[in-house]
Chains A and B, each alone.
Chain A
């Protein structure tokens, strides 16, 4: 199997899986029924993308493993999502800040991925990009509402942005698999997205009357499988059934 392609796929898909899982936690607990429904829609979009990626990855692996084996039966070290997406739903401010900081990246990445020479990847990107375009609009609107809303909301969303900012730089790091895939014309060179990303993020923050965090200290590790303390608990939930009742069909 093409190990680099397999790993590259997981890198992309794991982000959607973990973020989709996080959003799924909120279902039934949103600040309004309308917002609850909207967040579930985003979760469903992301999990739909995940299934396409993993099904493709399973095919590449070619050893009988399924999308669920890939989704639910890896060790923590074998998940390659960025640290940003595993951060908890501390409050609606954190949820929207996490979403927004990821959506802007996700959209830029998919726009490039659509040009991939790998037709499967290009097709998944083409479908996903419409979904993510909506996510970005939704989360940007909420950043503006919360930033330019009440004094309390301004404070809360600024705190969330400040706290999550430290995880943004990792979005633009390259793994060895990334580099190999870029060289083949399959993967996206994420290092080239950085400029456009911060430009767009900063513009929204400015419109939201929020300040752009100045910290130059960033966290990384997710892409190498070294996660934050939150990840283990998230996986405990995600994998519970598959671990407790191995080798069964559901």
Chain B
């Protein structure tokens, strides 16, 4: 028997108020070890106040081949952005 430690993705919140951000990956036998390893590998220089780990195989990713149908239809929906609307200059911040 020789199974390799699976791969985990690591997300770190750098300080309260900010979101967790993906910062890399590592190997660990289980979730507890993944957390400990993430602490030792990715927060050595006080980079974080909170860590999430998730085994890489549990992530479902969109396929870049479908990028056309997935993301392009949003491009012409300019009315979702504030600059689409014409307002007189007198109306300052809105």
A residues near B (Cβ < 8 Å) are: 32-35, 37-38, 41, 134, 137-138, 141, 145, 150
CB pair A138–B5 under 8 Å, yes or no, is no
B residues in contact with A134, CB < 8 Å:
39
Give CA–CA (A33, B24) in the complex, Å.
15
A30 to chain B, nearest CB (A): 11
| Selected contact of B29 from candidates A33, A41, A145, CB within 8 Å | A145
| Selected contact of B36 from candidates A32, A33, A138, A150, CB within 8 Å | A138
CB pair B27–A32 under 8 Å, yes or no, is yes
Q: Mark B25-53, 1 if CB is under 8 A from A, else 0.
A: 01111001100110111001000000000
Give CA–CA (A201, B32) in the complex, Å.
20
| Selected contact of A141 from candidates B1, B33, B44, CB within 8 Å | B33
Give CA–CA (A138, B28) in the complex, Å.
13
- Name 29 interchain pairs, CB-CB below 8 A, sorted by A: A32-B5, A32-B27, A33-B27, A34-B26, A34-B27, A34-B28, A34-B33, A34-B37, A34-B40, A34-B41, A35-B37, A37-B37, A37-B40, A37-B41, A37-B44, A38-B36, A38-B37, A38-B40, A41-B40, A41-B44, A134-B39, A137-B36, A138-B36, A141-B32, A141-B33, A141-B36, A145-B29, A145-B33, A150-B1
**The 8 residue pairs across chains A and B that have the minimum distance between CB atoms:** A34-B37, A38-B40, A37-B40, A41-B40, A37-B41, A34-B26, A138-B36, A34-B27
A residues in contact with B40, CB < 8 Å:
34, 37-38, 41
Q: How many A-B residue pairs have CB under 8 A?
A: 29
Q: Interface residue tally of chain B, by bracket?
A: 10 to 19
Closest residue of chain B to A150 (Cβ to Cβ) is B1
* Listed residue (B1, B40, B41) with the most chain A CB atoms within 10 angstroms of its CB: B40
A128 to chain B, nearest CB (A): 17
A13 to chain B, nearest CB (A): 24
Give CA–CA (A145, B29) in the complex, Å.
10
Closest residue of chain B to A34 (Cβ to Cβ) is B37
A137 to chain B, nearest CB (A): 8
Give CA–CA (A141, B30) in the complex, Å.
11
A28 to chain B, nearest CB (A): 15
B25 to chain A, nearest CB (A): 11
A150 to chain B, nearest CB (A): 8
Give CA–CA (A37, B39) in the complex, Å.
10
Closest residue of chain B to A38 (Cβ to Cβ) is B40
B49-78 interface (Cβ within 8 A of A): none
Closest residue of chain A to B1 (Cβ to Cβ) is A150
A residues in contact with B27, CB < 8 Å:
32-34
Give CA–CA (A238, B29) in the complex, Å.
35
A75 to chain B, nearest CB (A): 36
Give CA–CA (A41, B40) in the complex, Å.
7
